[in-house]
Amino acid sequence: MNALLADEPADAADEPHHDAVARAIALLVERRDDPPDLATLAAEAGLHPHHFQRVFSRWVGISPKRFAQYLRLDHARRLLSVQASLLDAALDTGLSGPSRLHDLFVTCEAMIPGDWKARGAGLVIRWGVQSSPFGRCIVGVTDRGVCWFSFVTGDEGAAVAEFAGEWPGAELVRDQAATATVVARMFAPVGQRPPLPVLLRGTNFQVKVWEALLSIPAGMVASYGDIAIAIDRPSASRAVGGAVGSNPVSVLIPCHRVIRASGILHNYRWGPTKKQALLAWEAGLTGAEAA
């Protein structure tokens, strides 16, 4: 049996309080300029405030109040200014650091040119539409690793068609159980995340950029210029932006950790609020200091 799919944990969507946490995250993001208090969030979830706080903290890694602090726009700007030296060290170490990929729970394999040009010929991709704490998502997984992860923010059919269009030569098999396992592992509570392999399909330049994204530690951000310098293409910030935007395995390959040098969170495929939520979640997981 594929090790990626074996010994699967409980499906995140089946956890009794998963939806309550997802709704709370959405509400905190929506009202980030005037965040609701604990009592309001608990009432929305139908739970006692103390119980809700424990449930939220288990899933997200921090309290709702702390999460709201990480949602502030100036948090990302502050990360760029005060953690520059730490980021430089992380990017310099890159994928050669012995603990880097272990820390990020991701192992990475790029397709060889022949496989890349075949656009999935000979591959069986199990896919499904799942729920996550940050909204609906489409997941594709092969025996070699996760090859697709995207959020669904509009028409689900169009999102599925986009996924299928990227792999015209592959055999696509709808498999809700297998993809639920992947999502459960991606968004499991702190301390319950086994490593996940990722299979990347892209040009040499794109893969180089995506590998550099893996070098940005969770809880930190980098600018497009930082990534360009890290891959020894300092004048290629615009091309880096294109590669970041075409990342096929979002979240696992953390394109959300790249922001403009000004600290602005635009240019995320699913909108700046989702990007803010992901950054806040990771900041909570790593214990980063809130702005």
Element (H, E) at 167: none
C-alpha distance from residue 113 to each of 33, 40, 211, 233 (Å): 47, 53, 17, 22
Cα separation values, 233 from 45, 144, 221, 227, 256, Å: 48, 30, 19, 8, 21
Q: Are 228 and 236 in contact (CB under 8 A)?
A: yes
SS3 for 96-163, per residue?
A: HCCCHHHHHCEEEEECCHHHHHHCCCCCEEEEEEEEECCEEEEEEEECCEEEEEEECCCCHHHHHHHH
Closest CA to 23 of 154, 132, 156: 132
Give the list of residues 6+ apart from residue 216 with CB closer than 8 angstroms, or none: 87, 90, 91, 222, 254, 257, 258
255 is an active site residue: yes
Nearest alpha-carbon partner for 149 in 60, 219, 253, 241: 253
Q: Which of 108, 137, 147, 255 is catalytic?
A: 255
On whether the CB atoms of residues 253 and 146 are closer than 8 A, the answer is: no
- Written as six digits, the tokens of 82 are 């005060």
CB neighbours of residue 194 within 10 Å? 11
Collapse the DSSP code of 166 into the 3-class scheme (helix H, G, I; strand E, B; otherwise coil) and give the result.
Answer: helix
Just list the catalytic residues: 255
